[in-house]
A and B are shown apart, each in its own frame.
Chain A
Amino acid sequence: MNTNKKKAWLYLLPAALFLVCFLVYPLLDVFVYSVEEGYNFASQTYFGTGFYNFSYVLHDPYFLQAVKNTFILVVITVPLSTGLALLISVGLSSIRPLRDLFQTIYFLPYVTNTLAVGLVFMILFQKTEYTDGLVNLMLGWFGAGPVDFIDGPYWAKMFVLCFYTIWIVMPFKILVLTSALASVNQDYYKAARVDGTPKLRIFTKITLPMISPMIFYLVITGFIGAFKAYSDAVALFGTDLNAAGMNTIVGYVYDMLYGDSGGYPSYASAAAVLLFAIVLTITCINLLVSRKKVEY
């Protein structure tokens, strides 16, 4: 090793130490907990090692419900929010007047507190003894019956959760995509215009490929973010998510640790490891696909 390399490692040392202490060690510890059966916080003891924790978690109906919810959330919100953000960004970059105003409006949700937004959504959607909520009021105009979006049927609750999630994640995506669109060299568009390229073809053959690295970045981080969803559900349905049937995998992990029925670090670790495996798999698939598609 030459001096330069030694120096480089030396410079990295402080950061590396922190990473090992607060990232690598806890991560390994979770794996250890997940195979220790019946671990007890107070006495720091366990019965034995094995895969019983995983088996328990995988047979727990609450966990299965959480997995189902999480997957629905991911499958609906990631493509929808990315697609909508793309649409809005393209619209934003093709208008000139009032662009800044619109950009600010679209960005507002990003700087707003999740819980505050949750409260607003409650007001919009919740049905109480006194009022059916704003959305139900509007549904009424079209002759549709009032639906309880917060305590009502599963699809209604899922709808609100997806709506809310999309609304929360969109600003960031719009921000990224508008800057990606702005950074495409204008000469490509000029060349396309001189060659008489139709508008739609410009979009699909030039714009999309040019910003595809950013789109894939958003899809990958979107997947990861959606798999880790928790606070959104809490903001809408309160902390007892199992009872509401709206738990997510991260929510399940939390409940296993600190919830009313909690205190099972082993089960929580097993669930966390499962989530880790799912996210890892999906991200790898994403990367493989993007490697194929984004090739310049």
Chain B
Amino acid sequence: MKIVLEKLTKTFPGRGRKNPEDVTAVDDFSCEIPDGELIALLGPSGCGKSTTLNLLCGLESPTSGRILFGEEDITDLPPELRSVGMVFQNYALYPHLTVKQNILFPLENRKGKDRLSKEEMESRVMETARLVQIEELMDRRPKELSGGQQQRVAIARALVKMPRVLLLDEPLSNLDARLRLKTREEIRKIQKKTGITTVFVTHDQDEAMSISDRIAVMRLGVLMQMGRPQEVYDDPLNLFVAKFLGTPPINVFEGRVRDGKLYIGEEAVLPAEGLADQEVFAGIRPEGFILQEDGPLTCELNRVEIMGRDISVIASHPACAGQTLRAIIGAESKVDTASPAVRFALKPGKVLLFDRETEERIRF
């Protein structure tokens, strides 16, 4: 099911004397989610991800704008008529019901001609349980399950009614690091198998990059950029997106363009043909550094971390925001740890320029 959001805006009215100001949680959000894709909604805490999801499932109604599932306008439809499955951050499994009763619950809600027969419900539940691999757990209660198992039960409960759209609100945040890796693969597998259009909220860019077809980066309620993970990573529209994606994060320098060259400090590090002279932020991805004896960028060497596959060089430069920068280079390179300085050349594609004022991308 294709989802289209048109100029979606949600404003929470200010309340009382203590919070007089209105909060615009989602601001003029327009995007199109193709059928059958998994979209990660990514952004820092409080940027309106959950609110967007609530608008999609109908728990909140938008202040303005429209939501379409396929060609159908569902903006004013109540949640139960939208046919969406939702997985909550804490799973919201009913603690007094067994796993099976939990999964059965949405089916038992139906009345009249929509209601399935006992056998149909049973087989639907077993089918869904098999999909998420929890057949052996059907008679347990949620508190007798591990976090990952609870998560799968929650997904099964959302999927059992065969929704048009699956919504997941930070489904992995309650899991430990190892389980998180495993579970996100599983979510991806289930999504692929069912082909259901899925919106997945997370504030972990790693998670978003690794499993989604597209990511949408939000900031303060505004959609900053949407696209395929690699595109957004390689070609961010502004400094915020560039800083938000990538681990380790991008290194940001205060630089300026003069006579068609990019200067960081007093050194001309890269040609920048055709750009007017101006002050810029230069973002350099950690993998954009090349260790080079006579490289143009001289930094003070702090320390070297060897991580097996590659080496991370931590150095400092006065023009670098946050003082220290991190470069990742191949393990075959030799770094002279005794030397006080280290010199780098830069890979042009990994250096991104941004306007000092607007923080918008400057292409060159």
Contacts and interface: CB of A to CB of B under 8 A. Distances in A.
A194 B109 contact: no
Contacts of A212: 96
Contacts of A284: none
Contacts of A190: 59, 86, 88, 92
Contact of A210 (B85, B96, B110, B157): B96
Contacts of A210: 95-96
Contacts of A295: 96, 141
A91 B193 CA distance: 45
A13 B117 CA distance: 63
A187 B161 CA distance: 19
B17 interface: no
B61 to A, nearest CB: 13
B143 to A, nearest CB: 7
Contacts of A198: 109, 111
A196 B109 contact: yes
Given A187-B88, A296-B143, A194 B94 contact: no
Contact of A193 (B80, B89, B96, B143): B80
Given A187-B90, A190-B88, A198-B111, A209 B96 contact: yes
Contact of A195 (B80, B96, B141): B80
A291 to B, nearest CB: 14
B109 A193 contact: no
Contacts of B105: 195, 197, 205
Contacts of A194: 57-59, 79-80, 84-86
B42 to A, nearest CB: 22
B110 A196 contact: yes
B29 to A, nearest CB: 20
A190 B91 CA distance: 11
Contacts of B106: 195-196
B178 to A, nearest CB: 26
B177 interface: no
B81 interface: yes
Contact of B141 (A191, A197, A201, A296): A296
Interface string A205-245: 11001101000000000000000000000000000000000
A191 B86 contact: yes
| Ranked 8 nearest A-B pairs via Cβ | A196-B80, A187-B92, A195-B106, A209-B96, A191-B92, A296-B95, A194-B86, A296-B96
19 contacts: A185-B90, A185-B92, A187-B88, A190-B59, A190-B88, A190-B92, A193-B59, A194-B58, A194-B80, A194-B84, A194-B86, A195-B105, A195-B161, A196-B80, A197-B105, A210-B95, A296-B96, A296-B141, A296-B143
Given A190-B59, A196-B109, 4 more contacts: A194-B80, A194-B85, A196-B81, A206-B94
